[in-house]
Every structure is written in structure tokens, then in C-alpha cells.
Amino acid sequence: MSAKSLETKSVAIKRKPRSETRGERVPPQGEGGFDVNWYPVCLSNDIRAGEVKGMDFLDGRVVVFRGENGAVTVMSAYCRHFGADLGVGGKVMGNEIQCPYHHWRYGQDGACKHIPIGGAIPKNARQFVFPTMEKWGLVFAFNGLEPTYQLPEFPIPADKLAIRTFGKIKCKLDIALQATNNVDFQHLIILHGLDIEKYPEISFHKYGLEQKGMVWRDNLRGGGAKSTVDVSLTGTNFLMFGGDLAGMNAYMGIAGVPIIRDGISDVYTIIAVPKLGEDPASRQATETVLGAIEHWAHALMIDDDLPITNNVSFRMDNLLNHDRYVMQMVRYLQAYPRAHPSAEYIRK
């Protein structure tokens, strides 16, 4: 894709019929369910062995606990007896979680295992358990009964990487709409000050998109340093990009989850760079690189983006040729599957 091909001009883009006087919107999360994604719930080090925490998640409440076996479970918070919140006074007993109200205990599969008062355990005494995994220092829960895709890997083996995960940034824009920034070239040029020397090759697929070979110079914060990066979107909420970032071999992942109760998305960032060695000097040099990338990422996401995206009314209206890949991504988001199998379990 040449720079000339993206010169700013009005183009005729066919749109679906609509009744609004303004442009099309992406239906908000919760309307028709939630995108079928792996969602970050919390940092792994937030949940130590024997610990349980209640969390707002999607449009309801879950608990996250780690059993003696080290495994993390994400399940619906409200006990299937009288609805006590397992995250308020619940206790981890071995690999089970005990309700604070009547001490019913649930296993990591969600099934009730013990009722202290005695008697048969009701067959429906079962919590909703989300498919759960830990990766890059985050606990992820899948919005579905079975995962339909896997999260990507960084191009370098994990044991060769130093990884720093931080969060959460609170964003008032749906994380899926926030992710359109990666194909919004006007935004990259005008807001972030990037001089794009080579536009990427972009392809959409069933569970995301790929951008290959983008070259830019950061004139606003990087002193004109050159970067060559690849970008991917997996699902609607996980961006990964990296390559040569201003002369540093570095990678970044951005994952978010909508929290309807607060009207926000909780966003987590993963930074990964190759280890420079195991001696103290090399470790310090690696930490310095991680710190530089984190500072740059915060500047773009917090200083540049949040004051705007926290107050935007996102619609596809009066499009330019520069906007055509944003439009394609919006079409992808509009068609992406939604579901809410946990609805009756996590809502109060």
C-alpha cells in the first residue's frame, strides 16, 4: 500500500440503510451478549495460593481463587443456595471454595462438593465456571462454554523473553473500538506524530486481522527514530505488535475487558523484550529497555489517547479514503459473534 494511495479525499462508500441522522455505530457490549473472547480478569500475582477475590466482570460478578494445586478458577460469584457473594467472606479450602453463608463448598469444576448440614447435594448446585488460563502474568477467562481460538505467542520463545505486565488502565471506550486505533492512520499521523514511510499489508480473518511490514518514524517523542513493526488483532480485544521499535527488539500486547457496571474497559499491557543476559549488568540493561518501552506506551495510550477516547461518541460518519481500514474493522466488529452463557449466574 503506497502513501499516495492513502491521500486524503472524500470517497463514496456504500453503507447499510439506517434511520439515524448520524453514522453507524458498533452495538455496545451487552447488546446481544458479549464478544466471544478471552478476557483478562486480573494479574496473576493478585491471586496467591489459598486466596479468593471478587471481581466485576462483563455485566456481573465473578470470583477468582487459587487452590492448593496452584490452579486458578474463575467462576460465578453468587452461591447456588441463597446467592451469597463467594468473594465476600468466602474461603479456599484445599481446592474448593467455601460459601460464607452456609459453608457449602464448590470445586474447581463448579460442582457443590459438601453441605455441612448434611443431606443429598442438589444436582443443580453448580456454579458457572469459565474456561480459564494464565498467560504473560494475566488470568484470562473465555466468554463461552469452550474456547474457539487460542491467544497468539510472541515471535520469540517465552523463556528467552523478559516480560513486564501492568494495568489496569481504565478506558471509557469499549476495548474493541479502542483497538480500531491500529488501523486508523489519520490518528497515528495526526495525534501521535508518526511519519509513516511504509503502510502495512492488511488482511482480515475469522478471529482477527494481520498487519505486516509497517515502517514509521516517531517525530513527536522518539526523535525521528525508525520502527518496523507487525501488528495483529485476535478476537476483538487483544492487540499484539512489535519488531524493531526505535532500534530495540520489543513486543507489546494490549488486552481489555468491558465492565458494564462501571461503563469502562479495564486494559492491561504486556511488554516483552529479549533477555540480554543473566548477569546483574545484563538484567539491569533489560529492565532499562522494558522501562523505556513502558514509558513510551503510557505516553501514547494515556497522555495522547485517553483524553479523547474517554469522551468520544464513536460513529462511522463522513468517511475519507484514509478511513477505509477503520470501516473494514468496524464491519468485522459488527459481524463478530456474541454470547452470554453466564448471564443467569453472574448477574445480581
Q: pLDDT per residue over 129-171, tens digit each?
A: 999 999 999 999 999 999 999 999 999 999 999 999 998 899 9
Tens of pLDDT along 257-274? 999 988 899 999 999 999
Residues 133 and 166 in one domain: no
Residue 170: strand pairing partners: 266
**Backbone phi and psi for residue 188, each to the nearest 5 degrees, phi listed first:** -65, -40
pLDDT score at 1: 43
Q: What's the pLDDT band for 22 if we cut at 50, 70, 90?
A: confident
Q: What SS3 state is found at 160? A: helix
Which of residues 93, 117, 142 is at a domain's end? 142
Whether residue 277 is predicted with pLDDT greater than 80 in this model: the reply is yes
Q: Please state the rounded mean pLDDT for residues 296-312.
A: 91
Which of residues 107, 142, 177 is at a domain's end? 142
C-alpha span between 177 and 28 (Å, rounded): 10
Placement of cell 473465555 in the chain: 142
Residues 116 and 165 in one domain: no
Q: Judge contact between 275 and 162, C-beta under 8 A.
A: yes
Q: What's the pLDDT band for 65 if we cut at 50, 70, 90?
A: very high
Is this structure's pTM higher than 0.75?
A: yes
Q: What's the pLDDT band for 19 if we cut at 50, 70, 90?
A: low
DSSP 147-192: -SS-----SS-GGGEEEEEEEEEEESS-HHHHGGGGG-HHHHHHTT
Q: Judge contact between 315 and 334, C-beta under 8 A.
A: no
Please report, for residues 150, 230, 240, 324, the alpha-carbon distance to residue 269 in angstroms, rounded to integers and kept in the order given. Answer: 18, 17, 10, 27
Residues 102 and 191 in one domain: no
Residues 180 and 327 in one domain: yes
Q: Judge contact between 26 and 334, C-beta under 8 A.
A: yes
Picking from 23, 63, 105, the residue whose alpha carbon sits closest to that of residue 314 is 23
Does residue 25 sit within a domain?
Answer: no
pLDDT score at 14: 54
Residues 120 and 227 in one domain: no
Whether residue 328 is predicted with pLDDT greater than 60 in this model: the reply is yes
Q: Please state the rounded mean pLDDT for residues 223-242.
A: 94
Q: Judge contact between 73 and 65, C-beta under 8 A.
A: yes
- List the end-to-end C-alpha distance of the chain, in Å, as a whole number: 50
Residues 178 and 120 in one domain: no
Q: Please state the rounded mean pLDDT for residues 82-103.
A: 98
Q: Please state the rounded mean pLDDT for residues 71-87.
A: 98
Residues 223 and 250 in one domain: yes
pLDDT score at 3: 39
* Conformation bin of residue 223: beta by default, left when phi > 0, alpha when psi is -120 to 50: left
Give the H or E element holding residue 297.
Answer: helix 280-298
Domain range spanning residue 77?
38-142
Which of residues 142, 172, 187 is at a domain's end? 142
Q: What SS3 state is found at 306? A: helix
Residues 177 and 326 in one domain: yes
pLDDT score at 223: 84
Residue 133: strand pairing partners: 140
Domain count, the chain: 2
Buried b / exposed e across 240-254, counting CB within 10 Å, b at 16+?
bbbbebbebebbbbb
Residues 117 and 209 in one domain: no
Cell numbers for 29, please give them.
Answer: 457490549
Does residue 29 sit within a domain?
Answer: no
Placement of cell 478476537 in the chain: 235
160 prior amide bond cis, ω within 30:
no
Q: What's the pLDDT band for 16 if we cut at 50, 70, 90?
A: low
Residues 175 and 233 in one domain: yes
Does residue 8 sit within a domain?
Answer: no
Residues 207 and 282 in one domain: yes
Placement of cell 472524500 in the chain: 10
Residues 113 and 178 in one domain: no
pLDDT > 70: percent of the chain: 94
Give the pairing type, strands 338-339 and 264-274.
unpaired
